[in-house]
Amino acid sequence: MSTGLTSRWLATLFLGLALAAPAAADDRPNILLIILDDIGMTDLGAYGSEIATPNMDALAERGAQFTNFHVAPTCAPTRAMLMTGTDSHRTGIPTLEHMVIPEYQGQFGHEGELNTAVATIAEHLAAAGYQSFIAGKWHLGRSETALPAARGFDRSFILDSSGADNWEYQPYLPHYTRAEWWEDSTPVESLPEDFYSSQFLTDRLLNYIDEGDTGRPFLAVLSLQANHIPLQAPREFVERYDGVYDAGWDALREARLQAAIERGLVEPGTELAPPPPGLRDWDSLSDNERAFVIASREVAAGMLEAADHHVGRLLDSLDAQGRLENTIVIVLSDNGPEYNRPTDNWAFDLWLAMQGYSRDVETLGEEGTYAFIGPEWALASASPFSLFKFHAGEGGVRVPLLISGPGVEARGLVSGFSFVTDIAPTLLELAGAQPLEGREPITGRSLLPVLSGNVQGVYGDDEAIGLEMSGMSALWRGDWKIARSMAPHGDGRWRLFNLADDPGEARDLSEAEPEIFASMLEAYAAYEARVGVIPVPDDFNAAERIAALGWQAFLRQNRPVFIGAGLLLLALLAGGVLLLANRRR
């Protein structure tokens, strides 16, 4: 055989062997990102809660439990920063859509949906060979350029509104004409008869994973509605909390403080800040009011335990497939606990009645009911911190974060400051992926040095991290924080806190430390200029704006009803006038 023939024969043989051999296994980690909604710092068992969350607690035990992790005061800006690693003012979603000032709409960073200047984690990972799936709340836009299908996700079943009913296909606010469910790029017009959000979304995500390419690593996002209004949960979970909350919200807030101290989340001697003005006193409630608020809190607990149950099903399924040990699992909340008591608005109360919603205590949480915890229970959920969702107090922006899996040491509590923009670069580094070029730069820091056990934090004491959402503003630098909360439960004043000594933000040090205060305000002004914050008016009131938009939507949707009622009233008046005139003849 000639040398040439021998060479061609050997080349053919080696090529055949290479094609016949199995492909080298891709051992890069899978990523499972679990997003909870409106969960307070001490709502999970690992953080001192009375609520049973054993599956998420187990993640804390075998990974890193963060005690100083921060997000935006409300959902959409947090989710934008989470998905991109970039400040919300660069993403197109600096605030909730109901709070956008019309004059700002459409300016760069204020497009009202995820803009194309930024790339999502899924887009970065897709370029590195990952497949990506998402099931649950998206709330970043539903245009052809904003849906997950256009932003790196291979499969998606998402809700692109701030919330929806958990039992049926129905919006939860008059602001929406439909429940904005989408699968891939197609609107969903109905849901299964046995739909319950946590169960269904878990099943759908599992289906996407099972149908995916087992030879490629995946990013899977489970974005649950627990515990967003309306609070709803299967009776079997709600009943487990019968009697647990009978002592009231003040007792729960104090119990959560003590649990946080015992677990090392905060130092002994931590003080609770005074409640904001206008909250109800437990002893002033009527028997009926007390029964409703207790039942509502029981539903909230049952809803979170049900969510944990379905998270456990997801983890068990991955474990049974032999995939869990190579999966990084992240659990976090998008903001602090929801304070709204929507039925304080008579128009909203009327809308609920027209939708057929009930607030019957005996069935609360079941299909057709509408529960919420209000500001007093929200303050307890955020304990030992101050305020709650929509506000810049630590209770609105400091939330649970758990990370476990390959490359993560079982290191217990992590006390160093971290921010939501840090998640994207952390995941990219763990996956060995590089950010795409030509997009807005990632501004967060990788937490890998923390996860590997080397350090407590990735920010120096002289580094400032800013936050703004519709006037709710904060800046952290070392142990110091300045914060400003607007109405309804803030007064628009800046305050200064030393979080090392006062994590509950009970003592304003702006007068005692004027030089530090001035320096922090200067750093905040630099942050605003850098990211493109457009300040809101000094008298901006988010609650009033949301209520006004809801009323306008309610009138639009029911215009034929009101016109008909008006015509009927006019006819009755006219008939009455004619009748009276005839009697006088």
In the annotation, is 309 catalytic?
no
Q: Rg (Cα) of the chain, in Å, rounded?
A: 26
Residue pair 45/52 in contact by the 8 Å Cβ criterion:
yes
The CA distance from 366 to 389, in Å, is: 25
Report the first-to-last Cα separation within the chain, whole angstroms. 129
Residue pointed to by tokens 């647990």: 244
Question: Helix 54-61 crosses helix 287-320 at what angle (to 10 degrees)?
Answer: 60
The CA distance from 191 to 254, in Å, is: 41
Distances in whole angstroms, Cα of residue 383 to Cα of each of 49, 275, 334:
10, 11, 17
> Does 560 sit behind a cis peptide bond, omega within 30 degrees of 0 on the bond before it?
no
For 157, the 3-state DSSP assignment is strand
HEC string of 444-496 equals CCCCHHHHCCCCCCCCCCCCEEEEEECCEEEEEECCEEEEECCECCCCCCEEE
Residue pair 111/145 in contact by the 8 Å Cβ criterion:
no
The CA distance from 424 to 118, in Å, is: 12
For 8, the 3-state DSSP assignment is helix
**Minimal CA–CA distance to 140: which of 83, 183, 59?**
83
The CA distance from 397 to 4, in Å, is: 71
Indicate if the alpha-carbon torsion angle 129, 130, 131, 137 is positive or negative. Answer: negative
Q: Spell out the residues 6+ positions from residue 118 whose beta carbon is closer than 8 angstroms to its own.
A: 80, 84, 86, 90, 91, 92, 439, 440
Among 70, 98, 110, 139, the active-site one is 139
The CA distance from 140 to 116, in Å, is: 12
Dihedrals phi, psi of 204, to nearest 5 degrees: -65, -40
Among 70, 75, 110, 391, the active-site one is 75
Dmax (CA) for the chain in angstroms is: 129
In the annotation, is 228 catalytic?
no
Q: Spell out the residues 6+ positions from residue 243 whose beta carbon is closer than 8 angstroms to its own.
A: none
Q: 571: exposed, middle or buried (C-beta count within 10 Å: 0-12, 13-18, 19+)?
A: exposed
Active site residues: 75, 139
